[in-house]
Structure 1
Amino acid sequence: MTDDALFDADGVASLIHSESVLDGVFDCLGRIWRPASATRERELGDSEYRTRQLEHLLADQGVDLYDTLEAAAGDHPIGSLDHGCGVVMDGLSLREGFALERDLRADHDWTVSLDWAGVERLPSETKFVCRAWFDARSPSAVSRDDFRYVGDTDVPQLPGTDPAFVWTRHPDRRLEASTKGNYSVERFADIYADTKGLLERVVTESVHEEFLVSSDHGYVNFVGRNPFRLSDDDETALADAVGGRYTDVEAGYAYDRLREANVIRRTGGRYVVTGHYRPTTRGASKRVAHGGLSIPEALTPVLRIDTR
Structure 2
Amino acid sequence: MSEGLYGSEEFDALLDEDDILDGTFECLRRIWGDPEALSDRRLADSEYRTRKLEYELEQLYPPLYDDLLEQMGDHPVTQLDQGCGVIMDALSFREGFRLERELAADHDWSVSLTWAPIEGLPSETQFICREWFDAQSPSAVSRDDFRFVGDMDVPKLPGTEPEYVWTRHPDQRLEGALKGNYSMEEVEDIYEDVKTLLEDIVHESIHDEFLVTSDHGYVNHLGNSPYSLSDEEEEALSSKFNSRFCEVGNGQAYQLLERAKVIERVREHYMVRGHYKWTKRGATKKIMHGGMSLPECMTPVLHINTDPVGVN
TM-score normalised by the chain length of structure 2: 0.94
Deviation at 1:268, TM superposition (A): 4.1
Alignment RMSD, CA only? Answer: 1.9
Contact 1:87–1:211 under 8 Å retained in 2:
yes
Task: Tell me the residue number matched to 2:20.
Answer: 21
| Cα distance in 2 for residues equivalent to 1:126 and 1:30 | 25
Alignment check: 8 A CA contact 1:7 1:53 kept: no
Q: Which residue of 2 aligns with 1:148?
A: 147
**Map 1:121-200 → 2, pairs under 5 A:** 121-200=120-199
Question: What's the counterpart of residue 71 of structure 1?
Answer: 70
User: Which segment drifts farther, 171-180 or 62-71?
Assistant: 62-71
Per-residue CA distance 1:184-241 (angstroms, 9 max, x = gap): 2210011000000000000001011100000000000001111110001000001111
Cα 1:283–1:226 change in 2 (3 A) is: farther
8 Å CA contact retained: 1:217, 1:297: yes
2:223 is matched with 224
Q: Structure 1 residue 85 and structure 2 residue 90: aligned?
A: no
| Number of equivalenced pairs | 306
Q: Who is 1:36 aligned against?
A: 35
Partner of 2:6: 6
Aligned to 2:310: none
Match of 1:260 in 2: 259
Tell me how far 1:19 sits from its aligned partner. Answer: 2.2
CA-CA distance at 1:242 after TM superposition: 1.5
**C-alpha deviation, 1:73, in angstroms:** 1.1
> Quick one: distance in 1 between partners of 2:279 and 2:7?
26
What is the SS of the residue equivalent to 1:60?
helix
- How far apart, CA to CA, are the structure 2 residues paired with 1:282 and 1:175? 21
Check conservation: 1:236, 1:281, Cα contact below 8 A: no
Counterpart of 1:116 in structure 2: which amino acid? W
3-state DSSP of counterpart to 2:112: strand
- Name the CA distance, whole Å, in 1 between partners of 2:277 and 2:107: 40
Are the counterparts in 2 of residues 228 and 277 from structure 1 also a CA contact under 8 Å?
A: yes
Matches within 5 A, 1:219-298: 219-282=218-281, 285-298=284-297
Q: CA deviation at 1:181?
A: 2.6
1:12–1:57 contact (8 Å) kept in structure 2: no
Q: Match for 2:160: what amino acid?
A: T
Structure 1 runs of 4+ aligned residues shifted over 4 Å read 11-14
Aligned counterparts of 1:261 and 1:113: Cα–Cα separation in 2: 39
Over the matched positions of the two proteins, sequence identity in percent amounts to 57
Deviation at 1:63, TM superposition (A): 2.8
1:32 positional shift? 0.3
Displacement of 1:284: 5.2
Instruction: Look up the equivalent residue of 2:176 and give its one-letter code.
Output: A
- Aligned partner letter, 1:47: S
What 5-or-longer segments of structure 2 have no aligned partner? 308-312
Q: Say which is worse superposed, 191-200 or 241-250, in terms of deviation.
A: 241-250
What is the distance in 2 between the residues matched to 1:306 and 1:269? 40
TM-score (norm 1): 0.95
Which stretch shows the higher mean deviation, 60-69 or 234-243? 60-69
Between 1:279-288 and 1:167-176, the stretch displaced more is: 279-288
2:56 corresponds to 1:57 = yes
SS in 1 for 2:239: helix
Matched, 1:47 2:46: yes
